[in-house]
Structure 1
Amino acid sequence: MKMIQTQVSFHQVSSEEQGQRIDNFLMTKLKGVPKSLVYRIVRKGEVRANKKRIKPDYKLQQGDEIRIPPVKLSERPELPSANLKHVQALEDAILYEDDALLVVNKPAGMAVHGGSGLKFGLIEALRSLRPQEQHLELVHRLDRDTSGLLMVAKKRAVLKGLHEQLREKTMTKQYLALVRGQWQKNCRNIEAPLLKNTLQSGERLVKVDAAGKPSHTRFRIRQRYQQATLVEASPVTGRTHQIRVHALHAGHPIAGDPKYGDNDFEQLVSDKGLKRLFLHAWQLKLTHPKTSEEMQFEAPLEPSLQHFLDTLTVI
């Protein structure tokens, strides 16, 4: 991939940009730069606010002058053609759209953004479908193999408002997951710190570890089956692979999980016809950042998952 060398640049923070962390700001400005490099240039003092050294958690203030050092960037690839089948299919996956945001029912198997050998992901496909929108940004993420509700902001102020709801925990996200065995009635909250490790290949693995970040998921039983339980999971925090690792920590790995699954259970559900991770973001409740309207979105299980459930014996 062709690399381009940037020059030193200076950026004055606008009212829409204030309040965001410098590391998140840089990852938006320097698209394609690894997060590790962003932290390195901040730590070394190459990024400055008003000529002063800052930390990665520094929050931008309106009028700040930010010095951005020269870095090597991958030349930004062209957006995918809007005529591609997978891109066109996203049009039907858009459940809600106004001048502030989009809510999409992301299909399983589609990454939320390109990289790591992928030419494009959901956000690049949406930018291709909506070329007139200059500021489309993901509000949150879903794992590639997870399906369901995903928000995309059209304006920086909207992104900021939705991120605030996530931080303040006034937005709720509900997932459906099929797990191994019989989930315990008294296991309603799992609070176990999660530590993320990125391998040289770029693969991310997460484990429960005292050195990890505080993490909290609420679980509720929806339906019991002979060898599995359908649970509703609500992540209070938003860590990488959080629901998957907390379910494993409870002794109930999610069906169809190639990273954290149980081999015998995986063979069982595969023989019964499950071809993907059984994790789906089905409900989202939030306050519209512009109108203050209370909103609720739902995305039912895709037919293949519902059909799989119908093959199981209810108890």
Structure 2
Amino acid sequence: MKAPEDVRQGVRRVSVDEDNEGQRLDNFLLAQLRGVPKSIIYRVIRKGEVRVNKGRVKPDTRLKAGDEVRIPPVTVKEKPQQVSPGARVQGVMEAAVVFENEQMLVVNKPAGIAVHGGSGLSFGLIEVLRSARPEARFLELVHRLDRDTSGLVMVAKKRSALRFLQEELRQRRIRKHYHALVAGNWPTASGQVDQPLLRYEMPNGERRVRVDDAGKSSLTLFRSLSDFAGYSLVEASPVTGRTHQIRVHAMWAGHPIAGDDKYMDDGSLKAFRATGGQRLMLHARALEFSLPVSGEKVRLEAPYDEAFQQVLERLASRQNSGR
């Protein structure tokens, strides 16, 4: 693999389109000059080398549609060539798209695929989509799912849609419903876990989450869907959006999610593996939200993958044969 080289770009004049209207100048430049350190971007703004409509500006200047931004010559580190997602994985991801319009798309993410590359991964869902759609000017994740969790993920195709959907998330107007197979029989038809969650680091550097009074307030609503011998299928609807929230709240309630190698005890995990279960049994089943621009209310549902469905069928068959 070649070492990265320094590449110097000449002066560019970029016209601001409607999708970037209202964006801060510094954020606009960070997107235009990927790989350039923030310190350099702020320096060229401070020295007056960046101009908007030929006038000096500040980093927090809000851009308007039609503005002309002068971007001075800067040195960009050319990134080493990355492993590109192959045609097969691109096809799998395109086939997983369950909804799409001009502003956004929603993907039924397979378990085992991260939403983005990093931490030793060459690529994730968003990189695969960008490779499959080289003509797309903008594709960004609206939210995230754990690598081992399957189900619905929203991706914005326009910056305005990203801003709208992320604000909807902040205002808790987007409802997410997960299905989880948990150990033991869930005791009530419905209930909630309202316990604060704190992120911490293991001695090996792995990040975990635990219930802790020093953590952030967190609320998950649970509803029992069906019972099996030794397990329950529940719907979990997080009101807040903390890391590993459903997984830790289920564990705290005494019913860890089957196949969870972070929060399930070794004995229970081994017993689940003995039933043939190989994946984390957590699936982002449904989304309820308003579409950007039109405001139309939408509810989307994603089917289980084969591995999830097979576990449920084996448990149901075992239960029926035991009667």
CA offsets 1:41-94 (integer angstroms, 9 cap, x no match): 8xxx99x99769x9xxxxx8557x9xxxx99978265472452x2222112111
Q: Distance in 2 between matches of 1:30 and 1:214?
A: 38
Following superposition, the deviation at residue 5 of structure 1 comes to: 7.8
Please show how residues 45-64 of structure 1 align to structure 2 within 5 Å: 61-62=62-63
Q: 1:81 to 1:303 in 2, by over 3 A?
A: closer
2:282 to 262, 279, 284: 279
- Residue number in structure 2 paired with 1:152: 155
- Residue number in structure 2 paired with 1:195: 198
Following superposition, the deviation at residue 13 of structure 1 comes to: 9.4
1:305 to 292, 296, 308: 308
Aligned 8 A contact 1:282 1:298 in 2: yes
Q: 1:154 to 1:263 in 2, by over 3 A?
A: same
Aligned 8 A contact 2:175 2:287 in 1: yes
Following superposition, the deviation at residue 98 of structure 1 comes to: 1.7
Following superposition, the deviation at residue 100 of structure 1 comes to: 1.1
Secondary structure of 2:113 counterpart: coil
Q: 1:239 to 1:13 in 2, by over 3 A?
A: farther
CA offsets 1:242-293 (integer angstroms, 9 cap, x no match): 1101111111110000111122211111001001000000111111112211
Aligned 8 A contact 1:278 1:305 in 2: yes
Secondary structure of 1:264 counterpart: helix
Aligned 8 A contact 2:174 2:287 in 1: yes
Q: Distance in 1 between matches of 2:131 and 2:140?
A: 13
How many percent of aligned residue pairs carry the same amino acid?
A: 46
Q: Which has the larger radius of gyration?
A: 2
Please show how residues 1-315 of structure 1 align to structure 2 within 5 Å: 2=3, 16=19, 61-62=62-63, 75=79, 77-78=81-82, 80-83=84-87, 85-185=88-188, 188-198=191-201, 203-312=206-315, 313=319
Secondary structure of 1:245 counterpart: helix
Q: 1:166 to 1:30 in 2, by over 3 A?
A: farther
CA RMSD of superposed structures (Å): 3.8
Q: Distance in 2 between matches of 1:148 and 1:223?
A: 20
Q: Distance in 2 between matches of 1:181 and 1:246?
A: 15
Following superposition, the deviation at residue 235 of structure 1 comes to: 0.9
- In the alignment, residue 300 of structure 2 is paired with which amino acid? F
Aligned 8 A contact 1:20 1:160 in 2: no
TM-score calculated relative to the size of structure 2: 0.77
Secondary structure of 1:247 counterpart: helix
Q: Which runs of 5+ in 1 are unaligned?
A: 55-59
Following superposition, the deviation at residue 21 of structure 1 comes to: 9.8
Secondary structure of 1:311 counterpart: helix
Q: Which runs of 5+ in 2 are unaligned?
A: 9-13, 47-56
